[in-house]
Amino acid sequence: MAKRFDVLVVGAGPTGLAAAQAAASHGAQVGLLDAQARPGGQVWRHDVRHQAPRAAREAFATLDNVTWLAQHSVVANEPQGLRVETPGGSELLGYNALILATGARERLLPFPGWTLPGVCGAGGAQALTKQGWPVAGKRVVVAGSGPLLLAAAATLRAHGARVLGIYEQASAATVRRFASQLLHWPARAAQAAALRARLAGVPYRCGSVVQRAHGEAQLQGVEVDGPRGTQRIDCDLLAVGYGLVPQVELAALLGCALQQTGKHPRVRVDGLLRTSVPGIFAAGEITGIGGLAVARIEGTMAGHAAAGFDQEAHALRAQRDKARGFAALLDTHFALDPRIHRLADARTIVCRCEDITLGELDGFGDARDAKLATRCGMGACQGRLCGSALAELGRFPRSGSRPPLFPARLATLAGHTSLSPSDDAYRGS
């Protein structure tokens, strides 16, 4: 028998927390679940050394009014509800209204050497560092594109890393134009200034792309192509990411219509954040990368609307549209330089889970054919990384979404609700 909620929220980042709080404020019985052990999502991820910002602590305090389900991963959809894997087994969770707040992941793009130990995503390095990965004294190069580079570099530095430089692919002229626009967004300007202050003394180089990582069994250095030619930088860690892509897999599995933004899909919603499936709402990064401010406003709107209070949701639309305007600014100014799409050569691994090179995918017209013949996209990440990378490189987009969304125990897939000690040894994907 499925546990049932008036409103069930998937994802406890800023969006999901705001949604749960808004829905609960109307007296709805709200369930909030997340695959992680703690709420906060990406931006408010627990930091072992530093206290969470005040807004995050205030949002966590509101969990008193909702059923908080930690380490609950939605892996499949069944007629009675969502199949959720838990540390002790699995559960079916039913709902009258569902809010999807599954956020975004990093856009990681292949280049020679990107699979060397010591190379990771910029947001990935930030997340690992917050969780206690020792970076003190390590020489770190941060590269890629967008404001996340500054946030990641600041976290790494706060944990004792020696940040050698931040290498932004957008040109200096474009970054200057972006900075001048910040005058219209005082809160963002203040945030950027605070980050730059925390990074005082760290070079910020524009028009620069890491084109190769060197090393045998471990990263030893990177080659950066910049306005003054190519430069070799010795380092222990490369944190490189090219912005974010919405995590739409669960929405797709539930049948919600998607729409394409550039090369990546997002969930299509109407003015009240209703998806194409009645009773299912989507908010925050999965409806288009928008950042923290959008996440919190849209979460609140979706919470009100899912609880049946459309007017309250409607009242926030102007505020949401303004916040979305800033997101559009990011899109225009941090659009990727075509150089980045040419970094991978035929020998560069694209599917890291199955060790498939770009050259091995030549001649395949769609993702399904490539998958059947090479196993590209069939590993633990289920095509999340290579699918986005291949779409970005203009090969083929990821095809559909199938259960399980994440590697899950066979017992979970068979619908067993409690776990016997031997079950954990068998994971299927």
Ligand X SMILES: Cc1cc2nc3c(=O)[nH]c(=O)nc-3n(C[C@H](O)[C@H](O)[C@H](O)COP(=O)(O)OP(=O)(O)OC[C@H]3O[C@@H](n4cnc5c(N)ncnc54)[C@H](O)[C@@H]3O)c2cc1C
Interacting residues with ligand X (CB under 6 A): 10-16, 33-36, 41-43, 73-74, 101-106, 123-124, 126-127, 148, 151, 244, 247, 250, 284-285, 291-292, 295, 405
Q: Among residues 13 and 221, whose Cβ is nearest to ligand X?
A: 13
Length in residues, the chain: 429
Angle between helical axes of 14-24 and 54-61 (0-180°, round to 10): 40
CB of 220 to ligand X, least distance (A): 25
Q: Among residues 151 and 170, whose Cβ is nearest to ligand X?
A: 151
Q: Among residues 83 and 274, whose Cβ is nearest to ligand X?
A: 83
Backbone angles phi, psi at 291, to 5 degrees: 85, -175
Helix (H) or strand (E) holding 220: strand 219-226
Q: Among residues 16 and 118, whose Cβ is nearest to ligand X?
A: 16
d(CA 169, CA 335): 9
CB of 159 to ligand X, least distance (A): 13
Answer for the pair 38, 23: CB distance below 8 angstroms, yes or no: no
CB of 252 to ligand X, least distance (A): 12
d(CA 128, CA 226): 28
Strand partners, 119: 238
Strand partners, 83: 76, 92
HSE-CB of 170 using CA atoms within 13 angstroms: 21
CB of 259 to ligand X, least distance (A): 17
Taking CA atoms, 290 is separated from 16, 101, 287, 298, 342, in Å, by 14, 13, 8, 10, 27
DSSP per residue over 302-341, as a string? HHHHHTT-HHHHHTTHHHHHHHHHHHHHHHHHTPPPHHHH
Q: Among residues 307 and 405, whose Cβ is nearest to ligand X?
A: 405
Cis bond before residue 134 (omega within 30° of 0): no
Answer for the pair 110, 250: CB distance below 8 angstroms, yes or no: no
CB of 216 to ligand X, least distance (A): 28
CB of 235 to ligand X, least distance (A): 20
CB of 285 to ligand X, least distance (A): 4
Residues in Cβ contact with 359 at an 8 Å cutoff, skipping those fewer than 6 apart: 345, 346, 347
Q: Among residues 102 and 388, whose Cβ is nearest to ligand X?
A: 102
**Side chain identity, residue 406:** F
CB of 170 to ligand X, least distance (A): 18
CB of 245 to ligand X, least distance (A): 9
> Could you tell me the strand order of the sheet in which 237-242 lies?
119-120, 237-242, 139-145, 162-168, 204-205
d(CA 320, CA 368): 38
Q: Among residues 69 and 356, whose Cβ is nearest to ligand X?
A: 69
Whole-number CA gyration radius for the chain: 21
Q: Among residues 20 and 356, whose Cβ is nearest to ligand X?
A: 20
CB of 38 to ligand X, least distance (A): 9
d(CA 123, CA 110): 16
Q: Among residues 106 and 360, whose Cβ is nearest to ligand X?
A: 106
Strand partners, 100: 10, 282
Q: Among residues 56 and 340, whose Cβ is nearest to ligand X?
A: 56
CB of 149 to ligand X, least distance (A): 10
Taking CA atoms, 245 is separated from 172, 179, 264, 265, 288, in Å, by 24, 23, 7, 8, 8
Q: Among residues 18 and 390, whose Cβ is nearest to ligand X?
A: 18
